[in-house]
Amino acid sequence: MLKNIVCLTLLLLAQCALADKQPNYLSITWENDLFTLKDGGYTNGISVAWAYNDFEHFSKENIPPWLHSFTEFLYISTMENKRRAVSYNIGQGMQTASKLSERNLIEDEAPYAGLTMWRAVLYAFDDNIADRFSISLGFVGPVSGAEPSQRFIHKITGSTTPKGWSNQLNNEMVFQLSSERLWLLTRLENRFLGFDIIGSGSAALGTLRSDLSSGLSFRLGHDLARTFPTAALMPGREVNPAACDCASAWSVFVNIQASYVANNILINGNTFEDSHSVPLVHWQAQLVTGAAFSISNWAFMLSTALRSKEYKGQTTHPRFGSLNITYNF
């Protein structure tokens, strides 16, 4: 019954986010540690995103009325001389132990966890500064459906059957509010090749995760100016930045980010109930490398992420890969 309620809730949120017009972009992202020849920890994620752009202002005609009411007086809606866009995302992610064949609880590793989430991102940008404000709502626990999803994936890939899902987090609704700003620090570009450096700062608050982050992105490629508004320190979580209205955009990138993490339900365990947890490492960092390119209306991005240890006693550094495919209507 609870799973049906979750599915219905997410479908209603998705329906509320669908405007009458066709989206400008549709994007599918697959994240998996198999890209890095490793299994365990953050092990798999898949999401679908769609986006609308070319707004001067947000209104009840281009975003859901409840979302407009919530953000109408926030900076993302009131800044002048900005172009605007919105994207929506529905996805599922999962975290497992390093020994998938172990049924018993592994005390010194992060808990098994599944997460199913809906996310809305509002963009306001010009040629030099890009702002984002996002609202995320979702569920952790068995209701997320992560266990059957992983079993299915491991069955078709011939991987080890995960046996520790009886130790996963309990059912809980989670939320997160997040704000991020990108600054174009420098750009050198001609007709054929360009290079830029982007600085970023972000803050997030919620039962899912709360953190403060800053970082730098180094990009080499073509048509970098058009892809700046959707550049991301964590590629794959946004609509592919190569999916602009140009058929020849491409880039290779290196991103570095440092964060102070106040809470993370995937490490700290359930917020309101007792569950397995491990001591959170508050100061964290990540390195992301990858490439993005477009062919006609299609855009592709492949990246790998390497993170510092997220909890005390963690024996390896988390790493995973991401594949994103976006279609520009």
Which pLDDT value is given to residue 235? Answer: 56
User: What is the distance between the alpha carbons of residues 222 and 17, in angstroms, rounded to a whole number?
Assistant: 32
Assessment of whether the complete model's pTM goes beyond 0.75: yes
Output the six-digit token pair for 111.
Answer: 């808990």
Handedness of CA 127, 133, 138, 140 (dihedral sign): positive
Which pLDDT value is given to residue 183? Answer: 96
pLDDT, mean of each 10-residue run, the chain (329 residues): 50 54 84 68 81 90 91 95 92 88 92 94 94 95 92 79 91 97 94 94 98 96 85 62 62 95 97 95 96 87 93 91 88
Which pLDDT value is given to residue 100? Answer: 84
Which amino acid is located at 55 in the chain? F
> 141: closest CA among 34, 47, 271?
271
Which pLDDT value is given to residue 31? Answer: 87
Which pLDDT value is given to residue 7? Answer: 56
Which pLDDT value is given to residue 109? Answer: 94
Which pLDDT value is given to residue 8? Answer: 45
Count of helices and strands (H, E) across the chain? 6, 12
User: What is the distance between the alpha carbons of residues 42 and 318, in angstroms, rounded to a whole number?
Assistant: 7
Which pLDDT value is given to residue 5? Answer: 47
Task: Spell out the domains of the chain, with CATH numbers in brackets.
Answer: 2-328 (2.40.128.140)
Which pLDDT value is given to residue 118? Answer: 93
pLDDT tens digits, residue range 307-323? 999 999 998 898 888 99
Which pLDDT value is given to residue 246? Answer: 56
pLDDT tens digits, residue range 215-251? 999 999 998 888 887 777 665 555 555 455 556 788 9
